[in-house]
Chains A and B, each alone.
Chain A
Amino acid sequence: MNAPNASGWKPGTPVEGHNAMSGPDTATGNRALMLEEPLIFEIGHAETTGVDLPEPQGGANRLGGFDRAETIGLPGLSEPETVRHYTRLSRQNYAIDLGLFPLGSCTMKHNPRLNEKVARMPGFADVHPLQPVDTVRGALEVINELAHWLIDLTGMHGVAMSPKAGAHGELCGILCIRAALEARGDAREVILVPESAHGTNPATAAFAGYKVEDIPATPAGRVDLEALKARLGPDVAGVMITNPNTCGLFEPDMKAISDAVHEAGGFVYCDGANFNAIVGKVRPGDLGVDAMHINLHKTFSTPHGGGGPGSGPVVLSEALAPYGPLPFTARDGDGVVHLVEEENAAEFDHTKAFGRMTAFHGQMGMFTRALAYMLSHGADGLKQVAEDAVLNANYVLRSLEDVLEAPFGHSGPCMHEALFSDKGFAEGLSTLDLAKALIDEGYHPMTMYFPLVVHGAMLVEPTETESKAALDQFIMALRSVAERAKSGDESLKTAPHYAPRRRLDETQAARKPILAWNDPDMA
């Protein structure tokens, strides 16, 4: 094996015939550091508690006769047992902290630890959303400062900060479009969405009461502008376009698309999931976008946390900004930041708000982290983020296109992610098999089978926080499994071999769902 980098370092490989995983069974089922861990329901007890609280003292009871008499069934663990339980569980997870996490469209970049520290400052972590505003001016300033960064980076007019995640932001944007259309007495029924879109796009449009129609793509993986123009008309409320799109390509006709949609009386929603590729390089506002959500947990690196929480502020054009939801923040002439809610909306000339998307003011914990991220990078660093993310993706694309088919590789550079297909794999081997083999190589797989427009799609997003050496090792690993897939290596079908679990039976899980633990003694 060639050394993957100039230093001459190469990963250890097992001596022939000595598979590290083979060997005698153990009495515990553990394999040294690979530790099996039971459920809390199997190790905890109703009588154990890891929190010292006073014994109930009797006395007054004003519960209105609703006292809970039955056992709840919640096991407790002492603190040492609790820490050990969750530490053991944590070790069964892959994470960015462990290695490159090339999930396309998901933007798994390093999460700076300063941001964790900042979010825990008492003035942010320990304030109640309904405190008198004079006691939370600093928190409001954070929201306002972040809002201005987002507006400046996107060249838009306003921003709704409260949406809780990307899909919630999409809904917010589409509701703004709907409110703007209704305000001019223009009931339109259709939202156009490219086939390559994230599933949340059509789901959002449908949730907001629209019919969803597909926009066709060109052979180069872009929106077919002429087909789009032909479909536009008085029934089309707007389009939802992801740019850069889910094939990892910039839509060069974006401005022409926006102009055509506006001409036809519709609005342009941009799915900003991939904003990290262009932040500081181009402003969506200059391309005619009316609304775009920004996943703070992608572009601005708030941690994914095993599936959330996210945060999805929506930047809005001048045409849509008046309809943005409450609450939001506004800075007055004296520099004081106000919280604008239902009761003072008129004072801030914001009476057309379409309503409220969530109880409070949005994901404050994500705002503090994202703001610290932006301040750390600055305007110059954010531009570098986009450039390095795009460079890393192109490096992966060009280093592997001889072994994996890159369906759009011929059409020019990609943006922040490289897309491959399963063309050329041996009969019976699939993208899933390759992905599971990559797990054995110590990597989280790339996004699989998405976008839907490419057969057996593999979408690789390395992000800008990977070094060249890390990319080289990943490329070597992916090359190796791709070659095995092409040569028909049957051992791929049973991969992963070295993970805490072998392939899990998802069919059985769905056919007979077990969604909560049932005490076998009580069954």
Chain B
Amino acid sequence: MRYLPLTDTDRSDMLEKVGAADIDALFSDVPEEARLSGPIEGLPMHASEMAVEKHMRRLSKKNLAASDAAFFLGAGAYKHHIPASVDHIIQRGEFLTAYTPYQPEIAQGTLQMLFEFQTQVARLYGCAVANASMYDGSTACWEAVAMAGRVARGKKRKVVLSGALHPHYAEVVRTMAKFTEDEIAGAPPSLAAKPDDDGLIARIDENTSCVVVQYPDILGRLPDLARIAEAAHEKGALLIAVNTEPVALGAIKSPGELGADIVVGEGQAIGVGLQFGGPYLGLFAVRDEKHVRMMPGRLCGETADAEGKRGFVLTLSTREQHIRREKATSNICTNSGLCALAFSVHMTLLGEKGLRRMAMENHRLACLAADRLAKVPGVRLLNDSFFNEFTIRLGMDARKIVRALADKGVLAGVSLGRLFPDNPELADGLLVAVTETTSEEDIETLASALEGELA
């Protein structure tokens, strides 16, 4: 077996050294009746690198890769161009095969990277402090809700969710809240040109710990965060802003600037890639430093070594499970370190100038696509405002259209029927995302394919 260095001679020498007659003597604590006598039946035996690669390639080929189609899917996962150097750097063994930096003297590479990452995220979000990452956007969203409960010291139990929050994020919050006795006040999404900020504000009361608003929202629209923040703060509630497309923040105001108290989101769009949903990158930041000690997850901080040289360590770990056990702020242990590295490298390559250009190119192409698709007979553009993703209405079940177009090699977008199966009134909605990877030719392909289907 190519991954196992011990030879049979080594094995017998070592068994002798440890005083065991055979290998099973080392498993003597396992009750004999539970011990397996040979390899588990029904599973294949070991295989060569070539054979495994062939098997996996066969499975890979059964999928339609995004780059092989005219591609318009978003809804929380976006296809952007990732510079080649990003993948090169994250494959360096010193990053790839390192552990969590618990021994800082020999982990300054990971730690400095995390410190830079935290700063990049904090600035992008308009916040004071970001953590070293969470599993993904949806779990970061729930962690923010749980944190708001801690800030309210359990005295406020109502969580107001915007109807235009990603339905999977809302479902994660609902799932977790079943076990914490938080009352989740959701609302059905409405297909309007503007988000229902008034309706949302009307649902905030004195018992509300937090209001959760996606920006841009699941339909691509831009809610008035500043107004919602003011209304939330008036009732003593925190505003949690959720962002699933960080590239947008190169073009639109940051949630922190608009008054959000906790900003969370999905960082996948920068550096990480689609990967069929994971691993992704949960981003988590607080606008005000006073909330730092309530945060979940790892934090990297600056300090000095015994010779006075600058260095970095994981810090404030008294919030975390390995110290606080059942009193921890979260049970989270693992973060998404390598994805954070990919994000940070891509963001460093972009810089402010690159991010703004990338954002404006996304927006330009999205405007082009929206105008072109609106000209297709039977198609109506829903949004007044959007960044790189918008909703169109097709006047018929969008899921059927999406499936039919997929057969023609066009991945047309995410149907609202897929996202909101319980809301049949949304079934004619199609969410279309456009990025810098979308060509004008792709837009034309989608438009004419839609013309063909809707005719």
Contacts and interface: CB of A to CB of B under 8 A. Distances in A.
A138 B25 contact: no
A153 interface: yes
B449 interface: no
A124 B43 contact: no
Interface stretch (B130-138, B154-162, B206-214, B438-446): B130-138
Contacts of B414: 130
Interface string A123-134: 111111111101
Interface in B1-60: 1-7, 10-11, 13-15, 17-20, 23, 25-31, 34-36, 39-47, 49, 51-53, 55-60
A488 interface: no
B454 interface: no
A303 B79 contact: no
A306 B110 contact: yes
Given A118-B53, A135-B406, A500-B108, A152 B363 contact: no
Contact of B351 (A75, A167, A205): A75
Given A91-B94, A91-B109, A375-B52, A361 B139 contact: no
Contact of A468 (B13, B112, B180): B13
A517 B115 contact: yes
B313 A506 contact: yes
A420 interface: no
Contacts of A170: 331
A28 interface: no
A106 to B, nearest CB: 6
Given A49-B354, A74-B347, A77-B348, A368 B101 contact: no
Contact of A379 (B7, B44, B436): B44
A491 interface: no
A366 B318 CA distance: 30
B326 A66 contact: no
A165 interface: yes
Given A97-B97, A515-B129, A90 B92 contact: yes
A96 interface: yes
Contact of A444 (B6, B99, B351): B99
A92 B305 contact: no
Contact of A515 (B20, B252, B301, B337): B301
A216 interface: no
A74 B353 CA distance: 8
A87 B92 contact: yes
Interface residues of B, number: 212
Contacts of A450: 322
A379 B43 contact: yes
Given A114-B49, A136-B64, A53 B276 contact: no
B345 A505 contact: no
A412 B100 contact: no
Given A61-B363, A378-B45, A359 B275 contact: no
B367 A60 contact: yes
A76 B348 contact: yes
A131 B406 contact: yes
A356 B66 contact: no
Interface stretch (A389-397, A423-431, A476-484): A389-397
Interface stretch (A228-236, A259-267, A274-282, A313-321): A274-282
A515 to B, nearest CB: 5
Given A95-B94, A364-B278, A435-B103, A502 B305 contact: yes
A355 B171 contact: yes
Given A63-B363, A97-B93, A77 B276 contact: no
B357 A121 contact: no
Contacts of A32: none
A297 B100 CA distance: 12
Query: Which 4 pairs between the two chains have the least Cβ-Cβ distance?
Result: A76-B351, A360-B277, A355-B175, A138-B62
11 contacts: A64-B222, A66-B222, A128-B77, A212-B326, A304-B97, A308-B337, A376-B49, A391-B26, A496-B106, A509-B313, A515-B301
